[in-house]
């Protein structure tokens, strides 16, 4: 399910899942050399993927000190992302003119988009001397979620020092229960982009549908592109889901998500076939190397 589930009555009501760090698991090396000598792909450590690009603190128990920046960031791209950041901060200012901190919650699914939004929001809070624990994180649990997602959620809780609120059901049911348990909450931050399904007509601030709990949806990332997200992650060393380093570009549940076929490494497939290794694990390039952003959800079944 996509991040715009709050918007439409016809789509499924449970959150998409993803993850940015890994429990020190061995991960298959990508063909472009994005793995370090320890077998952990770049970005799996708590300090993320770019120790040479930007200094940032993280969870010292998950450090990938040998990682290097996997992409070239031009001055024009850097300026563009900085403008995106300023616009997001302006949005947060506007939000706090309309709502008190105690009325806000952050909807988190471990995916790349809401991970960027979390990092932006926590950076803003630090600048404004707002305790990060004042805006809780809402996470919808599922028996079908990736272990990497659940691990990453806990990693983010530690890294950003946020309060985790968990429910297990659909998002609609969770929000209904939340309004009962936390009646002060009036607005929810969501990491939707306007290229996501059903999100092309979303506004930055938009009320939930009439049959949903009465709440304002806050969508600061609507204008961000797929590659904007990855450029921000690379520029600011934001930890991301280890699955993205293995070819996943849009992560839902284990039963409906697989590596994006547009990132399959043809060279590895050819070499494996030549060696007679028909059962070899396919090798995929990382998510940020997807050339066509319209293929972002090519690794998702739409049936769930």
In this predicted structure, the answer to whether residue 276 has a pLDDT above a threshold of 90 is no
* Residue 303 near residue 254, CB atoms below 8 Å: no
Residues 6 or more apart whose CB falls under 8 angstroms from that of 278 comprise 272
Residue 213 is assigned to a structural domain of this protein: yes
Q: With 0.85 as the threshold, say if the pTM is over it.
A: no
Q: Using alpha carbons only, how large is the chain's radius of gyration in Å? A: 19
Can you give the pLDDT at residue 171? Answer: 87
In a domain, 87, yes or no: yes
Give me the number of domains the chain comprises. 2
Dihedral sign from CA coordinates of 162, 166, 170, 174: negative
Share the mean pLDDT of the chain.
80
Whether the CA torsion 137, 139, 296, 72 is positive or negative: it is positive
Where in the sequence is the domain holding 281, given as residue range(s)? 245-303
**pLDDT at site 278:** 60
Helix axes 112-127 and 75-98, enclosed angle (nearest 10)? 70
Q: Which residue has the tokens 């934001």?
A: 238
Tens-digit pLDDT profile for residues 37-46: 333 333 433 3
Whether the per-residue pLDDT at 126 is higher than 70: the answer is: yes
Q: What values do phi and psi take at 135, rounded to 5? A: -110, 100
The whole-angstrom separation of Cα 92 and Cα 95 is 5
pLDDT at 119: 98
One domain, residues 150 and 293: no
226-236 helix and 75-98 helix, angle to the nearest 10 degrees: 100
Q: What is residue 109's predicted lDDT score, i.e. its pLDDT?
A: 94
On whether residue 82 sits in a domain, the answer given is yes
230 and 259 co-located in one domain: no
């Amino acid at each position: 399910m996509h991040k715009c589930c709050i918007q439409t009555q016809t789509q499924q009501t449970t959150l998409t899942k993803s993850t940015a760090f890994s429990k020190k698991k061995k991960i298959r090396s990508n063909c472009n050399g994005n793995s370090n000598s320890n077998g952990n792909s770049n970005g799996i450590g708590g300090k993320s993927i770019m120790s040479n690009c930007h200094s940032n603190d993280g969870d010292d128990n998950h450090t990938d000190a040998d990682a290097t920046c996997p992409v070239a960031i031009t001055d024009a791209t850097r300026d563009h992302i900085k403008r995106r950041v300023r616009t997001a901060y302006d949005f947060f200012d506007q939000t706090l003119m309309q709502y008190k901190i105690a009325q806000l919650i952050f909807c988190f699914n471990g995916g790349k988009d809401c991970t960027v939004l979390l990092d932006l929001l926590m950076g803003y809070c630090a600048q404004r001397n707002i305790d990060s624990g004042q805006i809780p994180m809402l996470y919808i649990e599922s028996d079908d979620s990736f272990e990497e997602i659940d691990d990453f959620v806990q990693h983010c809780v530690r890294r950003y020092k946020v309060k985790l609120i968990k429910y297990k059901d659909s998002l609609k049911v969770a929000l209904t229960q939340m309004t009962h348990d936390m009646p002060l909450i009036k607005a929810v931050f969501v990491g939707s982009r306007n290229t996501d399904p059903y999100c092309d007509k979303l506004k930055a601030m938009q009320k939930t549908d009439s049959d949903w709990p009465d709440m304002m949806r806050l969508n600061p990332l609507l204008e961000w592109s797929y590659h904007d997200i990855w450029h921000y992650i690379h520029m600011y060393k934001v930890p991301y889901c280890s699955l993205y380093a293995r070819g996943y570009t849009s992560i839902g549940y284990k039963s409906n998500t697989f590596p994006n076929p547009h990132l399959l490494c043809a060279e590895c497939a050819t070499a494996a076939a030549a060696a007679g290794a028909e059962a070899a694990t396919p090798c995929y390039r990382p998510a940020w190397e997807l050339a066509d952003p319209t293929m972002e959800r090519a690794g998702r079944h739409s049936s769930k």
